[in-house]
Amino acid sequence: MKNITQEEWEAQIAEDDNAFILDVRTQNEVDEGIIPNSHHIDIYEGQGFIDKVNELDKSKNYYIYCRSGNRSGQAAQLMDQLGFENTYNLLGGFMEWDGETTYQE
């Protein structure tokens, strides 16, 4: 797992054809807005979170965020333990995100 700033996040994703953006917040938080092209799996689902994450392609590059950066850091560490090769945690999370946002469809 690597902690990265929003600037690093945006620069890396722009160059990364293998990027997968993962939002680990609660549904109520997701309803307030998301980073475009992100996929939602709530880390508070516990074993359900692990089960869903285990279905993902471990060779992709995972850009993970939550509200503040804490839960996404935990999710990235957990995913590393599960065999994911590249996980990136957004420092400051959605709270400090000043890039483009959208709403889940």
Mind telling me the catalytic residues? 66
Q: Alpha-carbon distance 12 to 9, whole Å?
A: 5
Which stretches of the chain are DSSP H helices? 6-15, 27-30, 47-54, 70-81
Closest CA to 9 of 90, 99, 95: 90
